Amino acid sequence: MDKQAWDNVHTQFNSCALTGAAAFFAGIPDAAVVVNGPLWCYFYALRYIERACPTIGDRFYCTQPDNNAVIYGTEDCLMEILEAIREKSKPSVLCIENSCAISLIGDDVAGIARQANLPCPVVSLDSGGIKGSFSEGYQAGAKEYFSKIPLQSRGEARPRTVNLLGCTLGYYNAVNDIEEIKRLLALAGYQVLACPGAGSTTEEIAAMTKAELNIVIHEELGGGIAQYLQKEYGMPYLSLLPPYGMEGSMKWLRTIGQIMWMSDASFSPVQREIDELSKKMDGAILDMQRIWGDLWFDQTLIAAPSSTALGIAEALRLEWIDTGFLTVILQNGILSNAAPACIDKILNGQGDSLAIDSQLAGLAGGLLLGSSNEKALMQQKAVPNVLCQNIALPVYDEIILSTRPFMGIRGACHMNERLWNQYISRCQQGG
Amino acid sequence: MAISKKNVITMKRSYSCSMSGVWNAVAHNQGALVIYHSPQACGHVTHTMELGSHYRSLGRMEMNGKQYNAPLITSNLKEEHSIFGGTEQLRNCIDYVAKMYKPEYIVIANSCVAGVIGDDVKSVAAAAQEMWNIPMLSVDSEGFFSDYYTGYYQAGLTLIERFMSKQEKKKNTVTLLGDRGGPLGSDVQEIKELLVIFGLTVHCQFPGYASLEEIQKVPSSSLCVLLGGRAKSHMGIHTLAADLSIKFDIPFFDAPCPIGYQQTKDWLKRMGQFLGKEKEALVAISQQEEKLQHAIDSYSSKLKKQKVVLCIGRPLLYFQPEWALELLRLAKVNVMGIILLKGLTEDQQQEMRMELEKYTTVSIRREEENKELEKEEIAVTTHELSDSIRRQFFLPVIPPVGVGGMIGLLCKLARLAGRSKERGGIVYG
């Protein structure tokens, strides 16, 4: 047996497949979700999602099965909720997801839903923690959606149109990042037709087959969906690390451009914006550098879902700061994309708890880009003078109200601003 | 317009998980290690809860930097275990953690999944104990069959059974039973202050926040004091106290944590009678009254005659309105009415109505009656309400203890009363 299967949960952050599947459907504004499971599992998923989607409670239901239901089946409690939905709300699609224990009973959920005679298609799946974590649930939910609800036939693709796959409101600051990606693409002359699981309606998703290309933003969420859509609808796809940093964003756009036969001229507006912002940013940073010295860290630790962690690691080391040693923790434990060469060490967030503990303990004076989870572990260990920036959930110690992304050109400015201001603040505190 | 902000869920059954109760019972006990015989995600859910507590205690400046955090390991049940059983997986998990973490004892909590599969966890634990010579405590905690409190107290009973034996009593020593945010939390501090009046000192807090050595010495305490709330949590803690009393002759002061002034007064009076220290009790009551009066005087200019509506969406089992009504009485506000929110079932509404009528003659209406609140009215509420209700005071799920707790609530309510009606917003009590 793999010894790493029994790690201390304290070093890990993840959520269950039930939350992941619910997050996919929560990202479809005209969809509703029924959790066929206990309130505890329901509330956990609800709280996770409603941080980014505050009104999700209006279309998120729970069957609350009791002991008898676990023995005799959940038909009665499920029917009660389905009848209420039929009477009171009119979703375009309904997802019924079974929690761990309910998935073991073997109820014919699809059959029960047919009896309820709902006026919308129903997608049902087992999605408890026994099925895996957030990313597995998200992918399972998406695959069930695409397999149950046919899209329009592909026909001829509309030129310069793309879809974004693998985006979710269940990632930190995702709303701002998705907006920035759409803005960048628009600046380069593309139109985004759909972003399933992160804002697109069922109608928009149905028409997504008209796009020239599917772009996978987070491979751990969208990779499988892209393959499915290629197989079923012949839609080509491109999976890259998300666009972080000025150069990183330009590289990302150019790679998409190469696939879509875009001329260099189409990048001019983006390049112009980069040039203008770089000039402003370089001047401001140099001013601070003369006073406060270089943004240097002996040790840097990044912890986030795989694609986010790898993408930020590349931008961080190639564009934003200097560091002696760069370690990346893949929160979800899976290496989504090829690892950039600039990373010195990669740790599995779901399996390397002792190594993670020791990395955190040795981070004094260093830089942590992660979540409130890693920060709490450092606080408990009293590791001094670590400069911390949140880039991943869970976050308990920061609010972002302005439209400031982490990705793209504006994201690069924002990240530089955050890093420098924190660094200066630490210097003033004598750190 | 609906008053409820969210689609308030009708709680037909318990909304908590007993595994997290087991975890909390020993989470900060030096030397403990907890295994969830469950999918990995169950551990993540508990950890998220724990992380929230960490930041809350940081925010309240109640963080104990030296606090022990027990490793939490999940046996990682997967789909295949539902067919072939998960006992082998659990056995391997125990072997790994016994070697890797060398804990003083291991507590194993069963998940819904383990319950449905029907794994014989007790046998696995017994065999592993033999093999590793480490105490292994198995606690039944399948989420469907019970709730947080059941897990918490069941773990406590298991610790008593396993680690305690009769000992000579140490005079004037007390064991606190229950959690209430731990030894540095304001609730426990409040109780300790009350105990000092009677010359009592706290030996430890049980079942959480106690080392194995402290747990073993619990039977030497001359008294147990309950830190539970009312209803469900009190029933559990009462069982724990009764078990200690039967097994080790430790008397317990059979009263829930005092919430508000009247309960504190009663608590002190009864404690005085219980200990034969009635005079001390009277002195303590007058001290508490003075403290409270001072606070009322300082907040009354902001609170007096403010219009308030009490909105209740929690069932009686989880919310006893007595303390909330006392808060409003002490604040000297004008209670314009009581609204029972939509999340309550017909039976729950009826039960709550009967309870409320014991304490007040204020008119009680249902949310469905659709009468809007006036702009100047403050909603004192168990649930977050629609943004159209400008000023909302959120009643805590676990009300703070004693007169100190009541003063804290009065202070926050006064701050809300002083807030401009145009700005509005929520103050969490």
Say how many C-beta atoms besides its own lie within 10 A of residue B387's C-beta: 11
pTM: 0.88
CA separation (Å) from B249 to A372, B224, B241? Answer: 46, 11, 10
Asked if residue B378 lies in contact with residue B328, where contact means CB atoms within 8 angstroms, the answer is: no
Portion 141-160 of B in contact with A at CB < 8 A: 143-145
Q: Do A380 and B74 touch (CB under 8 A)?
A: no
Q: Do B6 and A9 touch (CB under 8 A)?
A: no
Contacts of B163 (CB under 8 A, 6+ apart): B105, B135, B212, B215, B216
Q: What is the structure's pLDDT at A3?
A: 46
- CATH number corresponding to A158-266: 3.40.50.1980
Tens digit of pLDDT per residue, chain B (429 long)?
456 665 556 666 666 788 999 999 999 999 999 999 999 889 988 999 899 999 998 998 888 878 899 999 999 998 888 888 999 999 999 999 999 999 999 999 999 888 888 899 999 999 999 999 999 999 987 756 578 888 999 999 999 999 999 999 999 999 999 988 888 889 999 999 999 999 999 999 999 999 999 999 999 999 999 997 666 667 888 999 999 999 999 999 988 889 999 999 999 999 999 999 999 999 999 999 999 999 999 999 999 889 999 999 999 988 999 999 999 999 999 999 999 998 899 999 999 999 999 999 999 999 888 677 787 889 999 998 887 778 999 999 889 999 999 999 999 999 999 988 888 889 999
Q: Do B73 and A8 touch (CB under 8 A)?
A: yes
Of B39, B54, B73, the CB nearest to A128: B39
- Which alpha helices (H) appear in A191-347, and where do they start and end? 202-206, 219-233, 246-259, 268-292, 306-315
Same CATH topology for A10-148 and A158-266: the answer is: yes
Which segments within A285-429 are labelled E, that is strand? Answer: 296-304, 322-330, 345-348, 367-370, 387-390
CATH architecture assignment, domain A271-428: 3-Layer(aba) Sandwich (3.40)
* Helix or strand run (H / E) with residue B19: helix B18-26
Nearest one of B134, B137, B92 to B110, comparing CA atoms: B137
Q: Which residues of A touch B40 (CB under 8 A)?
A: 9, 14, 129, 133, 350
Range picked from A3-17, A157-171, A257-271, B372-386 for highest mean pLDDT: A157-171
Q: Which residues of B touch A334 (CB under 8 A)?
A: none
Tell me whether B87 touches chain A (CB under 8 Å). no
Q: Do B116 and A104 touch (CB under 8 A)?
A: yes
Q: Determine the residue type at A333.
A: G
Which DSSP letter does residue A317 get? I
CA separation (Å) from B170 to B203, B240, B276? Answer: 10, 20, 18
Shortest distance between the Cα of A172 and any Cα of chain B, in A, equals 15
Q: Which residues of A touch B16 (CB under 8 A)?
A: 39-40
Q: Do A38 and B17 touch (CB under 8 A)?
A: yes
Shortest distance between the Cα of B239 and any Cα of chain A, in A, equals 23
The CATH label, of 3.40.50.300, 3.40.50.2000, 2.60.120.260, 3.40.50.1980, for the domain at A10-148 is 3.40.50.1980
Q: Do A64 and B16 touch (CB under 8 A)?
A: no
Q: Which residues of A touch B71 (CB under 8 A)?
A: 8, 10
Domain extent listing, chain A: 10-148, 158-266, 271-428
ipTM rounded to 2 decimals: 0.89
Tell me whether B110 touches chain A (CB under 8 Å). no
Q: Exposed (0-12), middle (13-18) or buried (19+): which is B165, by Cβ within 10 Å?
A: exposed
Q: Do B78 and A13 touch (CB under 8 A)?
A: no
Portion 326-345 of B in contact with A at CB < 8 A: none
Could you tell me how many CB contacts below 8 A there are between chain A and chain B?
151
What is the set of domains in chain B, with CATH numbers?
18-163 (3.40.50.1980), 173-257 (3.40.50.1980), 298-428 (3.40.50)
Question: CA of B8: which chain A residue's CA is closest?
Answer: A57
Q: Do B71 and A10 touch (CB under 8 A)?
A: yes
pLDDT digits (tens, 9 = 90+) for A207-232: 999 999 999 999 999 999 999 999 99
